Amino acid sequence: MIQAVLFDFGQTLVDSANGFRSAEKEAQALILDNLIASAKKNLSSREFLAKYRDLRKYYQENSNYSRKSLWEAVCSHFGQRADPCIIEQWEEEYWQRVKRMTNVFPETIEVLQTLKQRYKIGLISNTQGQPRSVGHRLGEFPQLERFFESVVIAGESDIPAKPDPMPFAKCLKELGVAAAEAVYVGDDWRVDICGAQDAGLRAIWIKYHSVKRNWPKVETDVPTIFSLKSLLDLSTVLE
């Protein structure tokens, strides 16, 4: 019997898709301009973007979401040493842009309020590479924080990032429930769904119709929903 419902944060409870897209585009332009100015030679945007995307994919697949590390690696690949002060400025601007363009999905609060009457509610979110001085983005949404009996920010404080099973186990322990008694709701196939299943939880894959995204094509019997409101009838979703 399900005793707890655990959630991812970004693209599950809040919509940051346009914010990240815009922040990435701006960061790429800043880095490319800086590389061209430093090297005093032309660098095609096609060549730059291809390497940027390759490195970003590599870092993400290794659960390293640090923008600072990524940008330093990009600069290093093109023979330039990134100025730490400039990197810090880019990073601050990046997260400010994401913050400005992040909104709570319209149904989030209603669903959390309803579920909290029947289940323990937890949050397991990767740090996404925010500087520790900034803190996790959940802190910017006090209207959401109040619903969670356990909040685990993976990727900091010696807690490995999802899909490692440790953050799932930590949240379950804090809630006092077994893995078989919990369900995890998230949007990322590898990090959320595979991570939750490997930790022994049941998983629900949320794929918002309203979010522009290339979802991975996988054959799975994992329940898939397209709005958090489907969770109001959790037993039907899990059948």
pLDDT (0 to 100) of residue 132: 58
Provide the CATH number for the domain formed by 18-100 in this structure.
1.10.150
Does the pLDDT of residue 30 top 90, yes or no? yes
* Contact of 29 with 45, CB cutoff 8 Å: no
User: How far apart, in whole angstroms, are the C-alpha atoms of residue 111 and residue 229?
Assistant: 6
What is the Cα–Cα distance from 204 to 196, expressed in whole angstroms?
A: 9
Determine phi and psi for 204, rounding to 5 degrees: -130, 125
Which pLDDT does position 135 carry in this prediction? 57
State the pLDDT at residue 155: 83
Please write the tens of the pLDDT for every residue from 40-50. 668 899 999 99
Q: Which residue has the higher pLDDT, 134 or 88?
A: 88
114-128 pLDDT, tens digit per residue, is: 999 999 999 999 886
Look at residue 80 and tell me whether its pLDDT is greater than 60.
yes
Instruction: Band the pLDDT of 130: cuts 50, 70, 90.
Output: low
What residue ranges do the domains of the chain occupy?
4-15+103-238, 18-100
The one-character DSSP state at 9 is S
Q: Do residues 98 and 23 lie in contact, with contact meaning Cβ atoms separated by under 8 Å?
A: yes
* Exposure string over 136-158, b if 16+ CB within 10 A, otherwise e: bbbeebeebeebbebbbbbbeee
41: its two tokens: 């030679």
Nearest one of 88, 56, 110 to 230, comparing CA atoms: 110
- Do the strands 182-186 and 14-15 form a parallel or antiparallel pair, or are they unpaired? unpaired
Give the integer Cα–Cα distance in Å for 161 and 152.
10
**Mean pLDDT rounded to a whole number for the chain:** 92
pTM for the predicted model, two decimal places: 0.89
Percent of the chain with pLDDT over 90: 75
- Return the CATH number of the domain spanning residue range 4-15+103-238: 3.40.50.1000
